[in-house]
Structure 1
Amino acid sequence: MEEIEVEDQSKTREAHNKSRVKMNKYALGCALLASTNSILLGYDIGVMSGAVLYIKEDLKISSTQEEILIGSLNVCSLIGSLLSGKTSDMIGRRYTIVLAATTFFIGALLMGLAPSYPFLMAGRVVAGIGVGYSLMIAPVYTAEISPAMTRGFLGSMPEVFITIGILLGYVVNYAFSGIPNHWNWRVMLLLAAVPAVGIGMGVIVMPESPRWLVMKKRLIEAKTVLVNTSENEEEAEVRLREITRAWELHESSSFVGQSVWKELLWKPTPATRRILIAAIGINFFMQASGNDAVIYYLPEVFKAAGIKKKKQLFAINVIMGTAKATFVMISALFLDKYGRRPLLLLGSAGMVIALSTLGLGSMFFEHTAHKPTWAIVICVIAVCADVSFFSIGLGPITWVYSSEVFPMRLRAQGTSLAVSVNRLVSGVVSMTFLSVTKKITFGGVFFILAGIMVLGTVFFFFFMPETKGKSLEEIGKLFEDKKTSDEGSDEMSGT
């Protein structure tokens, strides 16, 4: 049995090496369709950063209500994230994507047509649930359908589309800022329904995840999908045997009949515990870095720096969005070549420098009535650097890593748990950002965020082994054998 397994893994690696030369177009198409779901969150982040300026004027809401309005989508997405694991195991990955798009579509209509603040909040709640579903299911589906040697690039697509959505939101802010205040923010929010419809229709041509099909014992359908996403039938056969063996080992284990949540949280094995620490840790630091809050409240930051005209504020947003989109694509292109750890460590270390610079710039503005152009330019560069380093590291790699480290039996609900932590931290940071800045100033907040990223860099170095080039079935061994995991970390750190 062991000889057969070694032979299979050898064949798998050989097949994967061939796939380095050419991207599988069918797998790429599936990943793109699934990842377009993530454009919904990106668009909301981008468009709300500008729309909220007009909502405050039109609905006469306070700063506290503004924080609740912005952060509520992230907190409510916690509901969708927690439900998505069980849902996707029951009805499949593909139909969960449809559910996510439909829920967000309803939320977008409620927000755009809201006659008052309570109705607007109701729309945020519904849209948030849809976002929670989409953030979990897009990376899981992409990871499960991708060949190992291109999984980093394909798994980065959700973050690519989040970034594209943010940039679209900024462009829409700029384009519709000139129409009457009562209508501009409504048009901005209603336009979010357009991609939701396209996503729901696009899923019709997507295949189901081959690993979910194996879980449901639909092996013929699973093989068909694997043939389409592999370089040749031999590679597809090897991948199918690996997936089937992994599932059969689970069915013959003592975990059969137990709750997945019990296996994850109540009595996790040492390997499962290490996986949880890595997956939850990276999701925690992704949002504790304050990236979402910085994007949501960037106009407030630069208003404090002396820029008052909304057109100028939105223009800065577009510049930042362009930088973010550029660097997330660069990261996606090199993720399978250089691996997860080097880019993650580079990105987090770069964020420390950028946030520290932004903190210094903000403190300068707080202690002088004069707002020199050179200081504003430095702050704009620091913001662009912050989001760019985020897009190199934490942005794409969080989704890739979260969806690939869990074993098949735990993947959907394990990823949903990690993403739930992501959403909870994002909501807390977004809903307290302005209140905290009033207590300790923008400069103080940016220095705290820089300190958090110092801790994050240390965490990534010690707790996250390299997963580049390994099949989903092989990755678990990095966590099962602690010595192997440590050796992987030493190799990547050059020791």
Structure 2
Amino acid sequence: MAGVGLVHQGRTRQYEVKVTAYVLFSCFVAAMGGLLFGYDLGITGGVTSMDPFLIKFFPSVYKQMKLEKAHENGPYCRFNNELLTLFTSSLYLAALVASLFASNTTRILGRKTSMFLGGLFFLVGALLNGFAVNVAMLIIGRLLLGFGVGYSNQSVPVYLSEMAPPNIRGALNMGFQMMITIGIFFANLINYLTAAQENGWRYSLGMGAVPALLLCIASLFLGDTPNSMIERGEYGRAKIILHKIRGTQDVDDEFQDLIDVIEVARQVAHPWRNITQPKYRPQLTLCSFIPFFQQLTGINVIMFYAPVLFQSLGFGDDASLMSAVIAVAVNVMATMVSILSVDKFGRRVLFLEGGTQMLLCQVAVGTLIALKFGVKGEGSFTKSEADLLLLFICLFVAAFAWSWGPLSWLVPSEICPLEVRSAGQSINVAVNMLFTFGIAQVFLPMLCYLKFGLFFFFAGFLVMMTIFVALLLPETKNVPIEEMNSVWNSHWFWTKFVPQEVVSDHSSSNCKPSP
């Protein structure tokens, strides 16, 4: 059993917590929402490189791919087709819309209900895609999957942050990102195994229904978070859950603190309007710019279109799928690095190191492609050159997986006070999905027209985002989620917006002097 301190203007309240089997099970089930998101992130790139899929739904792309030499831009423009990119990007447009509705669902009905709805949308969408007979069914299925992403991404990070003890909140919250990477890995592996089959694309798209069904069933056995139950007036049940997740009967102090914070939050009738107030400027800024920058790392160039990208750069069909599997396997392993280090070294160190490593890798990949293909797209990689390219891509993926990947979900979910938490998380998801949609929709045309310059385009944003973190992100490791406002008062810039009295001082009469 370990004591976890809450800071109250120089004094510390000590809470006794254990890491219980119940909280680990709850966080594991909730994080399955990330598995579904990852599966849908990873599945489309492989499916859209399968000949039977293209022949059935996008015959013009298939002909264009086979007549590559007739195109003046060679491999850069092989897959450039607006309808094909809409198949991929429609999911993220739907997720953007859904995230706005999911905010109210998560607040009024609870985190658990939002997770169940997310799983249900995933289930129906995956079945529609697996049994699709025309493009309309594909797009409708992708839209439903997008609603699943919107609801899951809204509720799961908040659920994890509220359930986890403060001293391991980072690691448990990153279970969401870990599941995303596992989902991407299995999607690429399934694509590799089914690619040679006539209807392999149906298995790839339809198998997303399996984890969706598991999430729907398992979420029925979860308890909601104490924060959410108190917010809805279920005080008795909230205290029971708090006993179970803390592993002790001595939760009176923490329970009273939660009630005090939520009573203050209830006085905020319009969280969307209130988050624009100056005292919430840090939360609004970070919830907007962190997901914006995450999408402009260029990671989705790899995650969406890895097989397509590798094919475009001269890898064979099987080699391109296997290279994608290797890249996402690195993604899974590197995410473990983040889980093990985030609560030890903190968020800022991982952000800064990851941004620097990704920058160097983007420049290296862009340079290799420029030297080999030039502007006209003429040339091909030797095996050793292809291996070197794959190495830099894997190093890029690893850096993302232990920095901007998981931290872009963790930090926004833990920095917002309860009164604006649902709005803050909705902004995070909406901005993320807006730019995920944008990147998915324009990547293939950008590759066609910018050619190797696309990689230098993303490198420029990596410079900006690393400077942004260095200047404006304070360290939040081990800070209890309901006491996060204390970090803004000690920051050189944000203290101008956050008045001193915003630091929670409820129950201060019970606070003990810190040792």
Q: TM-score, normalised by structure 2?
A: 0.87
Give the residue type in structure 2 aligned to 1:208: D
Q: TM-score, normalised by structure 1?
A: 0.90
Q: Deviations over 1:431-468 (max 9, x none)?
A: 00010111110x21111111111101011111111111
Q: Determine which structure has the larger helix proportion and give its number.
A: 1
* 2:365 is aligned with 1:358: yes
Give the secondary structure class of the aligned counterpart of 2:484: helix
Which residue, 388, 399, 404 being the options, matches 2:409? 399
Hey, what does 1:448 align to over in structure 2? Answer: 457
Aligned residues: 466
Segments of 5+ residues of structure 2 without an aligned counterpart are: 1-5, 62-80, 497-515
In 1: Cα distance, 2:359 partner to 2:9 partner: 45
Which residue, 156, 161, 167 being the options, matches 2:185? 167
Q: Which runs of 4+ in 1 moved over 6 A?
A: none
Hey, what does 1:245 align to over in structure 2? Answer: 260
Cα distance, 1:348 vs structure 2 = 1.2
* 2:387 is aligned with 1:372: no
Q: Deviations over 1:226-247 (max 9, x none)?
A: 111114222x223212211212
Say if 1:316 and 1:293 are closer, same or farther in 2 by CA, change over 3 A: same
Hey, what does 2:504 align to over in structure 1? Answer: none
Give the residue type in structure 2 aligned to 1:433: F
Give the residue type in structure 1 aligned to 2:201: W
* 2:283 is aligned with 1:275: yes
Hey, what does 1:493 align to over in structure 2? Answer: none
Hey, what does 2:481 align to over in structure 1? Answer: 472
Which residue, 270, 295, 299 being the options, matches 1:259? 270
In 2: Cα distance, 1:455 partner to 1:7 partner: 34
Preserved CA contact (<8 Å) 1:478 1:484: no
Within 5 Å, which residues of 2 pair with 1:370-449? 370-441=380-451, 443-449=452-458
In 1: Cα distance, 2:9 partner to 2:470 partner: 33
Cα distance, 1:364 vs structure 2 = 2.1
In 2: Cα distance, 1:271 partner to 1:350 partner: 34
Hey, what does 1:67 align to over in structure 2? Answer: 85
Hey, what does 2:46 align to over in structure 1? Answer: 50
* 2:35 is aligned with 1:39: yes
* 2:236 is aligned with 1:220: yes
In 2: Cα distance, 1:419 partner to 1:370 partner: 39
Cα distance, 1:483 vs structure 2 = 4.5
Which residue, 458, 465, 481 being the options, matches 2:467? 458
In 1: Cα distance, 2:448 partner to 2:183 partner: 30
Cα distance, 1:6 vs structure 2 = 4.6
In 2: Cα distance, 1:174 partner to 1:461 partner: 40
* 2:24 is aligned with 1:28: yes
In 1: Cα distance, 2:380 partner to 2:431 partner: 41
Cα distance, 1:8 vs structure 2 = 11
Cα distance, 1:102 vs structure 2 = 0.2
Give the residue type in structure 1 aligned to 2:258: I
* 2:292 is aligned with 1:284: yes
In 2: Cα distance, 1:5 partner to 1:179 partner: 59
Give the residue type in structure 2 aligned to 1:292: N
Cα distance, 1:249 vs structure 2 = 2.8
* 2:338 is aligned with 1:342: no
In 1: Cα distance, 2:7 partner to 2:333 partner: 41
Q: Deviations over 1:380-406 (max 9, x none)?
A: 011111111000101111111111111
Segments of 5+ residues of structure 1 without an aligned counterpart are: 488-495
Give the secondary structure class of the aligned counterpart of 1:65: helix
* 2:319 is aligned with 1:312: yes
Q: Deviations over 1:139-164 (max 9, x none)?
A: 01011111100100011011100000
Preserved CA contact (<8 Å) 1:56 1:66: no
Cα distance, 1:481 vs structure 2 = 5.7
Give the residue type in structure 2 aligned to 1:293: V
Say if 1:8 and 1:239 are closer, same or farther in 2 by CA, change over 3 A: farther
